[in-house]
Amino acid sequence: MRLHEYQAKQIFSKHGIKTPRGEIAETPEEVRKIAEKLGGKVVVKAQVLVGGRGKAGGIKKVDKAEEAEKVTSQLLGSLIKGHRVDRVLVEEILDIQKEYYLGYVVDKSKRMSTVIFSKVGGMDIEELASKHPGEIHKIHFDPLWGLQDYQIRKGLFKAGFSGDEFKEMFRLIRTLSDIAYKYEAELTEINPLVVTNNGFVAADARLNIDDNAIFRHPELETLRDATEVDELEREARLKGINYVRIGGDIGIIANGAGLAMTTMDLIQVMGGKPANFLDTGGGLADPIKMKACLEHVLKDGNVKVVFINIFAEITRCEKVAEGIILALDEMKRKVPLVFKLVGTNEEIGRNMLNKYAKEKGTPIYFVETIEEGAKKAVELADGV
């Protein structure tokens, strides 16, 4: 879950990291009042969850409150890289002496947490790595042990920090890593971290929370921008369904992430377009959950056919069939269903579904292999 800049700054500020004076606004009139309060010279920043806002015209510096109101009227309702601007952050313009970079990421390739910092800031980390590779410094640490003070000191000495700047960077690195640990963040970033007469200030801020950890931080769920989340994905998360909308016309239900992804790949190989990823999860099949899964997939109006791919070990096929039948009985919308149903009690499950199909006239097809199923689903979606 990505937080907006203003939300990240609120969290950083609570933990002792200085941020510019400013307020969030949703109308040009509000912006004018805030700008007047801040002395007229302000920066107006579109609050959208994309990088490169400045280059895309989403950040405007002005000298007067009237100008702030004018640029806000142009920004609100506009699109920045496909994202609609509904609010802006109005901040004082800082007297910047230096720009640094400070960030924290989870390095999955190394299975380590990593603090990244540089004496060069104000540009994307990828651009920074390309233009100034020797200026990037990293501290890798085991998340089980946490970031140790000696590691921070060693990294700062190596980067050439000294005196008051050394002390402040030490504090900021410690604070940022503590925030990342507390909120189970995948990324935290201050770019640029600027030096002013008032010390170090976070001129920009990013905080991305691991979606799988949100249940431990219910207070953060209220910060999620509903306009940035697909409605079907949001509903699925609330129901405990592992669902990702992709945009095609062939719905997928599978019991296992690997099986679901393989099914998606084969549908594409066969010339089709998957509508979604949906993993029912392992363990015993719950008819109510299977019912919810099919209902959810068919909420996507683009879906023309559903491929249900079940490899049953602990899962019992008759429970899968029971859940599907429950859904079909209640739903008005009917589409062809392709089943690869293999494993525990598969004959019972098939017989239940075959009987239902004959009685209700529901188009249900059984296949023996995943390749055959993908091909059949594509043919049905194409109307062959």
Query: Of 6, 69, 91, 101, which one is the catalytic site residue?
Result: 101
Known catalytic residue at 104:
no
Annotation says 189 is catalytic: yes
Backbone angles phi, psi at 200, to 5 degrees: -80, 135
Residues 6+ apart with CB under 8 A from 87: 24, 25, 26, 47, 76
Residue 196 to residue 46: CA distance in whole angstroms = 23
Cis peptide before 192 (omega within 30 of 0): yes
Tell me which residue of 304, 301, 281, 302 sits closest to 293, measured CA to CA: 281
Angle between helical axes of 317-330 and 287-297 (0-180°, round to 10): 50
Distance CA 372, CA 213 (A): 38
- Structure token digits, residue 298: 């068919």
Q: d(Cα 92, Cα 9) in Å, to the nearest integer?
A: 14
Contact 311, 342 (CB under 8 A): yes
Sheet containing 337-343: order of strands: 242-245, 276-279, 250-254, 305-312, 337-343, 364-366
Distance between CA atoms of 62 and 377, rounded to whole angstroms?
57
> Which residue of the set 67, 91, 186, 189 is catalytic?
189
Cβ within 8 Å of residue 271, ≥6 positions away = 378
Interstrand relation of 185-196 and 136-141 (parallel, antiparallel or unpaired): unpaired
- How far apart (Å, rounded) are the C-alpha atoms in residues 91 and 19? 9
Cβ(213)–Cβ(236) below 8 Å:
no
Query: Which pairing describes strands 136-141 and 79-80: parallel, antiparallel, or unpaired?
Result: unpaired
Following DSSP, what letter does each residue of 14-55 receive, concatenated? HTT----SEEEESSHHHHHHHHHHTTS-EEEEE--S-S-TTT
Q: Which residues are catalytic?
A: 101, 189
